[in-house]
């Protein structure tokens, strides 16, 4: 592949609930790379939970901290980073990601996302307190707005029923191409 970045920098993107952190940990282990979770980095930077950041500082402050943490990966090598669901959609972050490493969009359909997120409504600040209908509408609208950005990834991989070993194989095949 002719890209100028090292393909051992892997950025996982996708909607909340698509499995970025779970797949990221497993992929990093399989490839002997360091794993980072951008949400955890933001919490460490803020010294509080993402829920508290949203509650007391607002989404704009969260997005700014998220982008600052993302940009700490400039020049780093050999890692897997699980990005937040909105990370690529703000401050030109997708361009940065595409320049710094292999961007993978873990794609999942609306119904599957709903089934995963309906039980996590109280622990995810952007959907906290939503009714089931509000959650369905949020997923539909937000995914529609983000899909074009997500699909700019170097690899778009449907994750429903995807096994970690299959993801590793897809990454390795992409590296060989």
| Alpha-carbon radius of gyration of the chain | 16
Residue range 110-138, pLDDT digits in tens: 999 999 999 887 778 889 889 999 999 99
| Selected residue with higher pLDDT from 161 and 128 | 161
Please say if the pLDDT value at position 5 is more than 70: no
Please say if the pLDDT value at position 85 is more than 90: yes
Domain assignment present for residue 126? The answer is no
- The alpha carbon dihedral of 106, 35, 64, 119 has a sign of positive
Residue 4 binned pLDDT confidence (cut-offs 50, 70, 90): very low
Residue 20 lies in domain: 9-108+148-176
| Selected residue with higher pLDDT from 164 and 5 | 164
| Selected residue with higher pLDDT from 8 and 92 | 92
Contacts of 163 (CB under 8 A, 6+ apart): none
Domain assignment present for residue 69? The answer is yes
Per-residue model confidence (pLDDT) at position 158: 97
Domain assignment present for residue 165? The answer is yes
Domain assignment present for residue 142? The answer is no
Per-residue model confidence (pLDDT) at position 128: 86
141 burial via Cβ count (<10 Å: 0-12, 13-18, 19+): exposed
- Number of domains, the chain: 1
Per-residue model confidence (pLDDT) at position 121: 75
The position carrying tokens 């592949």 is 1
The position carrying tokens 């499995």 is 19
Contacts of 34 (CB under 8 A, 6+ apart): 28, 78, 79, 80
- pLDDT above 70 coverage of the chain, percent: 96
Domain assignment present for residue 59? The answer is yes
Domain assignment present for residue 81? The answer is yes
Hey, what are 163's tokens?
């096994």
Residue range 31-42, pLDDT digits in tens: 999 999 999 999
Domain assignment present for residue 113? The answer is no
Euclidean distance between the first and the last CA atom of the chain, given in angstroms as a whole number: 6
Domain assignment present for residue 123? The answer is no
Across 49-73, average pLDDT: 95
CB 107 within 8 A of CB 14: yes
Residue 7 binned pLDDT confidence (cut-offs 50, 70, 90): low
- Please report which helix (H) or strand (E) contains residue 51, including its range: helix 50-52
Q: What is the CATH number of the domain that holds 164?
A: 3.40.50.300
């Amino acid at each position: 592949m002719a890209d100028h970045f090292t393909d051992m920098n892997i950025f996982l993107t996708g909607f909340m609930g698509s499995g970025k952190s779970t797949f990221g940990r497993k992929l990093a282990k399989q490839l002997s790379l360091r794993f980072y979770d951008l949400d955890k980095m933001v919490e460490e930077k803020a010294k509080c939970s993402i829920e508290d950041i949203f509650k007391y500082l607002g989404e704009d402050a969260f997005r700014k901290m998220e982008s600052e943490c993302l940009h700490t990966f400039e020049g780093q090598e050999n890692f897997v980073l699980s990005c937040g669901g909105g990370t690529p959609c703000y401050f030109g972050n997708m361009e940065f990601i595409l320049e710094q490493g292999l961007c993978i969009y873990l794609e999942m359909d609306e119904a599957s996302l709903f089934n995963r997120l309906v039980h996590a409504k109280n622990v995810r600040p952007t959907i906290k307190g939503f009714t089931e209908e509000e959650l369905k509408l949020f997923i539909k609208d937000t995914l529609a707005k983000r899909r074009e950005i997500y699909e700019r990834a170097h690899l778009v991989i449907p994750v429903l029923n995807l096994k970690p070993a299959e993801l590793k194989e897809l990454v390795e095949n992409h590296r060989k191409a």
